Copies of this chain bind each other. A is one copy, B any other.
């Protein structure tokens, strides 16, 4: 297709944005093992309950996870099978990248120094 609908494009961007937080990726990774409630996730991820709820809200709003109320508890589960494929795809790419990087370093004989990169600060 030549011209992409702006609204659809914004949706795709939103979908990727939902996947662009380490904590949300951790949540999804936990949910791969099966449904979990907020309390369980909070303990597993070692962060505040408010934060977990907020991130679950984001994932839920964009359709990545679904909520099942059970008494006072709220169980979340992965609602979109594409999540599995997406994460596997990127993780695979990452593995390849790291592998070739490791090979290069091995050939070069140096230790890697890979500081966390942000979108704005461009290291030289």
B-contacting residues of A (Cβ < 8 Å)? 4, 6-22, 24-26, 29, 57-58, 61, 63, 80, 82, 85-87, 89-94, 97-98, 114, 116-117, 119, 122
Of the A-B pairs whose beta carbons lie under 8 Å apart in the complex, a sample of 30, sorted by A's number, is A6-B22, A7-B114, A7-B116, A8-B91, A9-B22, A9-B26, A11-B94, A12-B22, A12-B25, A12-B90, A13-B19, A13-B20, A13-B24, A14-B117, A14-B119, A15-B94, A16-B17, A16-B20, A17-B119, A19-B20, A20-B20, A61-B117, A61-B122, A80-B93, A82-B89, A82-B93, A85-B89, A86-B86, A86-B89, A86-B90
B7 and A13 contacting across the interface, CB-CB below 8 Å: no
A16 and B90 contacting across the interface, CB-CB below 8 Å: yes
Q: Known contacts A16-B16, A90-B15: does B57 contact A122 (CB below 8 Å)?
A: yes
Q: Is the interface of A mostly helix, strand, loop or mixed?
A: helix
